[in-house]
Amino acid sequence: MSTLLAVDGLDVTFDRHRVLADLSLHVQAGEILGIIGETGSGKTTLARAVVGLSPVRAGRITFEGTDLTALRGKARRAWRRAGQVQYVFQDPLRALDPQHTVARIVAEGLVVAGTLDRAAIDARVRAALAQVGLDQSLAARLPGQISGGQRQRVLLARAVALQPRLLLCDEPVSALDASNRNHVLRLLADLRDRSGVTVVVISHDLSSLAGIADRVAVLYGGRLVEQGPIGRVLSEPRHPYTALLTASAPSVRREHPIPARALRPAPDHRPVAAFGPDACSYASRCPFATQACVTAPSTAGSEWSVACHHADAWRSRLAVGAMSTRRTA
């Protein structure tokens, strides 16, 4: 597989608050990459940086060899209009103009791109609706006249109409009930399988990603703490935060034997050092942190990488009592 999107050493700062710190992540062509992390960890900021909506202070974002962070003015607008990367917003109701019909919404990007005539645009809209499993009869409806699951599909149809190379889906199922959630996740996998589009799915719910992603990247406090093939990461996490996430997710918990309790600091736990802005982002919450963690660890490994000074040792320090599985985690 070749690298489609490369993020290297990315720093994003809002009003002196460093939201992403030295973040590097590569997305391979044709894969589904899940990005997981708790609220505020920087997932949306990362996706928005890729489409030029976050203030990048340092680092590079390269898409198929084009340095997006260096694009300015006309070149930037032309690249955007071409629609190679589509960001699918988190909240369908807010992202859809309530006054526009579904057909007009799905056609929007094609009209802006200006490369197709009306008949070709209409054909693309029909194809996009079919691709996301929406009946053509919905084309004349307004967003307020369709269900939440259908609205999410309209957002996807608007994105796929542009035949993008990369779809960045921000929490695509968080507003949906369980059955709609599965449908939309399945749909993303189908889109990838049928058209070869590369998909990045952002979620704070590991269970949503477990069934569809090839690889997963774990963010904590604006830093990448682990990334690798999803099956291996879930069954044998190398970062204590990933281990806690997997232990806390009911659908994946059975795959790995450490109870969540063993991965949280004991009530009498005192951090060993004052952890400043250069420390490991997880240090103050980590039961295994030591003086070494006052500096952020670099990510080691390529196919499966982890940013933890104690990646090879923390398991041996798990308290034996806390490993008992008799009490629920």
Ligand X SMILES: Nc1ncnc2c1ncn2[C@@H]1O[C@H](COP(=O)(O)OP(=O)(O)OP(=O)(O)O)[C@@H](O)[C@H]1O
With binding defined as CB under 6 A, does residue 281 bind ligand X?
A: no
Query: DSSP class of residue 300?
Result: B
Residues between 101 and 130 with contacts to ligand X, criterion CB under 6 A:
none
Of the candidate residues 44, 86, 131, 299, the single one contacting ligand X (CB under 6 A): 44
How would you classify the pairing of strands 56-63 and 32-36? unpaired
Closest by alpha carbon to 289, among 240, 248, 256? 240
Considering only the stretches 34-42, 96-104, 126-134, 252-260, report the one whose residues sit in contact with ligand X under the rule CB under 6 A: 34-42
* Residue 218 C-beta: closest distance to ligand X, Å: 11
Considering only the stretches 2-10, 43-51, 242-250, 257-265, report the one whose residues sit in contact with ligand X under the rule CB under 6 A: 43-51
With binding defined as CB under 6 A, does residue 228 bind ligand X?
A: no
With binding defined as CB under 6 A, does residue 43 bind ligand X?
A: yes
Considering only the stretches 39-47, 69-77, 117-125, 297-305, report the one whose residues sit in contact with ligand X under the rule CB under 6 A: 39-47
Is 49 or 258 the residue whose CB approaches ligand X more closely? 49
The binding track of 233-272 with respect to ligand X, each residue x by CB under 6 A or -, is ----------------------------------------
Residues between 186 and 225 with contacts to ligand X, criterion CB under 6 A:
204
CA atoms within 13 A on the CB side of 312: 2
* Six token digits for residue 179: 């059955």
Q: Is 225 helix (H, G, I), strand (E, B) or coil?
A: strand
Q: What's the angle, vertex CA 175, arms to CA 169 and CA 178, rounded to 5?
A: 100
Beta strands in the chain (DSSP E): 3-14, 17-28, 32-36, 56-63, 66-67, 85-88, 166-170, 198-203, 215-220, 223-229, 305-306
What stretch of H or E contains 14?
A: strand 3-14
With binding defined as CB under 6 A, does residue 14 bind ligand X?
A: yes
Of the candidate residues 27, 36, 45, 191, the single one contacting ligand X (CB under 6 A): 45
Ramachandran area for residue 216 (φ above 0: left; ψ -120 to 50: alpha; else beta) = beta
Of the candidate residues 9, 40, 148, 229, the single one contacting ligand X (CB under 6 A): 40
- The residues of the shown chain that bind ligand X, judged by CB under 6 A, are 14, 19, 37, 39-45, 204
